[in-house]
């Protein structure tokens, strides 16, 4: 698995309330929710995002509410992956469970700029900034988690087991 796209850059502590504001959570429909992805900090995101594009953020991405709607809207917008310095615990778990690729790589998250073109290989964890030519290696997932991802999410892996 890999992705190749342009970067949307965000700061530290991006919370799930700005990823998908609670005022829209009166529906569980992903397509409807995705129209409001990142709306409270970046009104341009939904208009500009192209399939495969990459979110790059600082520390503690996805903090706050446990709403799975947050990784779900990012995935529904066809974002290729999220690279952050660190992820909040519940967001990290939810992203794995629903199959949104995420990578922890503080150095890449620090140096990659908004608008850069990046290529990400999830199998190796290698992040290539095509714009600057620099490559980075993200922390690999533990085998247990790789197994969930490989089987297509938590429920699919449970059914198989």
Partner 1 sequence: MGMTMTQKILAHHAGLETVTAGQLINAKLDIVLGNDITTPVAVNEFKKAGFDQVFDKDRVAIVLDHFVPNKDIKAAEQSKTCREFACEHCVSHFYDVGKMGIEHALLPEQGVVTAGDCIIGADSHTCTYGALGAFSTGVGSTDMAAGMATGMAWFKVPSAIRFELKGKLPANCSGKDVILYIIGQIGVDGALYKSMEFTGEGVASLSMDDRLCICNMAIEAGAKNGIFPVDNVTRAYMEGRCERQPVEFSADADAEYEQTIEIDLSKMVPIVSCPHLPENTKPATELSEIKVDQVVIGSCTNGRMEDMETACRYLKGNKVADGVRCIIIPATMQIMKECVERGYVTAFIDAGAVVSTPTCGPCLGGYMGILAAGERCIATTNRNFVGRMGHVDSEVYLASPATAAASALTGYITCPKEV
Site residues, partner 1 (CB under 8 A): 13, 15, 17-18, 21-23, 25-28, 40-41, 59-60, 63-69, 71-72, 86, 88-90, 93-94, 97-98, 142, 144, 153-156, 158-159
Based on CB atoms, which residue is closest to partner 1, 5 or 71? 71
Supply the minimum distance, in Å, between the C-beta of residue 128 and partner 1. Answer: 28
Residue 142 CB, nearest approach to partner 1 (Å)? 7
Pick 126 or 156: Cβ nearer partner 1: 156
Q: Which of 89, 88, 82 is nearest to 105 (CA)?
A: 82
Q: Tell me whether residue 31 or residue 144 sits nearer to partner 1 (CB atom).
A: 144
DSSP type of residue 88: -
How many Cβ atoms are within 10 Å of 160's Cβ, its own excluded? 9
The Cα 148–Cα 153 span in angstroms is 5
- CB 17, min distance to partner 1, A: 4
The tokens describing 140, both together, are: 């690999």
Compute the residue count for the chain.
161
User: For residues 52 and 141, which CB has a smaller minimum distance to partner 1 in the complex?
Assistant: 141
Residues 35, 62: contact at Cβ < 8 Å?
no
């Amino acid at each position: 698995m890999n992705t190749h796209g342009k970067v949307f850059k965000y700061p530290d502590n991006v919370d799930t309330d700005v990823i998908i504001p609670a005022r829209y959570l009166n529906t569980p429909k992903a397509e409807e929710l995705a129209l409001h992805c990142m709306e409270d900090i970046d009104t341009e995101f939904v208009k500009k995002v192209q399939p495969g594009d990459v979110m790059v953020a600082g520390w503690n991405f996805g903090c706050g509410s446990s709403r799975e709607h947050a990784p779900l809207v990012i995935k529904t917008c066809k974002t290729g992956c999220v690279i952050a310095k660190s992820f909040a615990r519940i967001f990290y778990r939810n992203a794995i469970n629903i199959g949104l690729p995420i990578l922890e790589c503080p150095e890449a998250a620090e140096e990659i700029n908004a608008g850069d073109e990046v290529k990400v290989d999830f199998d190796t964890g290698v992040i290539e900034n095509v714009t600057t030519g620099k490559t980075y290696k993200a922390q690999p997932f533990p085998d247990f988690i790789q197994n969930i991802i490989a089987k297509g999410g938590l429920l699919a892996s449970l059914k198989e087991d």
